[in-house]
Amino acid sequence: MIKSFFSITVCFLLFAHVSFSQTPIPEKKKDTIKKQQGGINLDMLDGDMFDTGTEEVTVVENNLDEVETKKSFWKEYVFSPSRLGASYEFTYNFTDPTEVIKNRFAFRIEYSKFLFNNLFVQLDTKSFIFMDGDSRSRELTYFNNDDFERANVGFGSITRNAFIQYSYKQSSFKVGIQTLAWGESDFAAVTDEINPFDFRDPLNLNIDELRVGQFMVGLNFYTSIGNFSSFFVPNAKFNLFPKEGTRFFEDPFAGTDIVTQEVDDGKNSIEYGFRWKKAFEKSDVSLIVTSLIDNNLAQEQVNPNLVLLREKRFTTVGMSFNYAIGNLLIRGENAIKFPRTFNTASLELIERNAFDTSLGFEYGLNSTTTFTLELVNNHVIDWTEDIVGVPRNNFTAFFVVVKELMKNNLSLNYITMYNGPNTTFFNLLSGAYKLNDNMTLSLDAIIPITNDEQSAFYQFRDQQHLAFKVQFLF
């Protein structure tokens, strides 16, 4: 396996001359769309023209104009707005039991283009090949050379954005698959629960990578008294978890005769929300109201052999803010959510209100060094001991250091997380080196630490990963 890994890596380094650029720390989502630059440049066609007469020259020139027009169309509308990427990831768990965690290729297509000055199109989709040893590969049977053979391999894809936006005067209308981030936290979902999340790969703290696109309609108005935004989701989607047959799949009812069944209560699965945001000289403030379906289906046991999976609606009323003081940025958000659904030990449903809050401090020491501290608390109002798996207060603290070196070609990042009352520490040390404008190499060390069986990281207590990634951009 290790030899195969190095062989694949060498092949990439020999043949690739382009790469992804990488930003290890999650970036803020902007409300305004920026036009992406770059793409594939096409060389001009060469051709010899022989002067055999005025009429013939005219014909040749017309043909060249037609070729140039066709080429300009492909360059302007197809190649220039497009970016093609490929990456290879290899992650190894270096503690007992040692094992390969990731052994996969990814192929990404990005397209963004302004049309007619008021129409914008964007596509961002990625496909995966999970090879032998990858935690998301599964044993498959395929037909080869007149016989059936088995191999551990898997395929997958994810589309984060595929939408069209139309702008008119001080308004915009957007429809298609989208990710929408209204929150300010880099790590926690306080008001940011509009999109479901992808938990099929463990130990990933990047909330931007976890967010899953879903079909929605968005409407924005930009006025002197603030920006008004709204969204509508006709059919809510849910969090993604490891599939049966993959490494990290866990059946909570294993060893029993219990079966699960999704139920349709006849209620609609639409989601909608509204936000008002006002920017001031060094700050901004937002008010948010949403009606959402919980991203996790609620489990209710109705008899000893049947557990029903139900969609549960809740309302969020919250606010967020940013305030800058010199090199210090203070940001925060809080939200009351009602009602949230919890379980008892016998899988009965209990509804309680919840109050979530976060407060973050980001300090830029200089142009190459940044420190971030973020505090998050999730509180269940009127909590009782009948609620299992969720404490009255779930507190999390994040500390982040980012350092840029070698003219910003080398980025070093350190993230440490503490979670209580189910004591857990999570550490991530990552480095990314930009070889050139087209190729980036990264190496991450991921170390979770916990002995508390109630911790969400308990099943990963022995997972200490060393992750290598090479990215290319075409």
Instruction: Report pLDDT for 182.
Output: 92
Q: Is residue 34's pLDDT more than 80?
A: no
Q: How far apart are CA 143 and CA 301, in angstroms?
A: 42
Q: Look at residue 38 in the predicted model and tell me its pLDDT.
A: 37
pLDDT digits (tens, 9 = 90+) for 189-200: 899 899 999 999
Q: What percent of the chain has pLDDT over 70?
A: 85
Percent pLDDT > 90 in the chain is 67
- The CA distance from 409 to 434, in Å, is 5
Q: Residue 381 has what pLDDT? A: 98
Q: What is the pLDDT of residue 20?
A: 34
* pLDDT bucket at 352, cuts 50 / 70 / 90: very high
Predicted confidence (pLDDT) at residue 133 exceeds the cutoff of 80: yes
Alpha-carbon separation of residue 195 from 183, 235, 357, 407 (angstroms): 12, 12, 19, 36
Q: How many other CB atoms sit within 10 Å of the CB of residue 428?
A: 22
**Statement: residue 170 has pLDDT above 80:** yes
Say which residue, 292 or 60, is predicted with more confidence.
Answer: 292
Q: Which residue has the higher pLDDT, 34 or 307?
A: 307
Q: Is the pLDDT of residue 58 over 90?
A: no
Whether 11 shows a pLDDT value over 80: the answer reads no
pLDDT digits (tens, 9 = 90+) for 397-413: 999 999 999 999 999 99
The model's confidence at residue 261, banded by pLDDT at 50, 70 and 90, is very high
pLDDT tens digits along 368-387: 999 999 999 999 999 999 99
- Whole-model pTM? 0.81
The pLDDT, as a whole number, for residue 30 is 39
Residue range 259-263: average pLDDT? 91
What pLDDT does residue 69 have?
65
Retrieve residue 437's tokens: 């404008």
Quick one: which H or E segment has residue 417?
strand 410-420
Listed ranges 19-23, 183-187, 259-263, 296-300; the one with the highest mean pLDDT: 296-300
DSSP three-state, residue 76: helix
SS3 assignment, position 250: coil
Q: What is the mean pLDDT of the chain?
A: 86
Give per-residue pLDDT as tens, 409-445.
999 999 999 999 999 999 999 999 999 989 999 999 9
pLDDT for res 72: 85
On the question of pLDDT at 152 being above 90, the answer is no
Look at residue 323 in the predicted model and tell me its pLDDT.
97
pLDDT score for 140: 80
The confidence score (pLDDT) of residue 265 equals 75
Confidence tier at 26 by pLDDT (50, 70, 90) = very low
Interval 76-119: pLDDT, tens: 888 889 999 999 999 999 988 899 999 999 999 999 999 988 99
- Note every long-range contact of 409-416, with CB atoms under 8 Å and residues 24 or more positions apart, other chains counting: 409/433, 409/434, 410/434, 411/22, 411/23, 411/24, 413/24, 413/25, 415/25, 415/205
Question: Cα(221)–Cα(97) distance, rounded to whole angstroms?
Answer: 55
CB-CB neighbours of 67 under 10 Å:
12
- What is the arithmetic mean of pLDDT over 224-237? 97
Of the candidate ranges 250-264, 273-287, 311-325, the one whose mean pLDDT is the lowest: 250-264
pLDDT in tens, 231-258: 999 999 999 999 988 989 988 888 888 9
The pLDDT of residue 71 is 66
Mean pLDDT across 314-334:
97
* Range scoring the smallest mean pLDDT among 149-153, 311-315, 371-375, 376-380: 149-153
Question: Is residue 10 over pLDDT 70?
Answer: no
- Confidence band of 173 (pLDDT split at 50, 70, 90): very high
Q: Where would I find the H helices in 93-239? A: 207-210
Q: Residue 62: pLDDT band by 50, 70, 90 thresholds? A: low
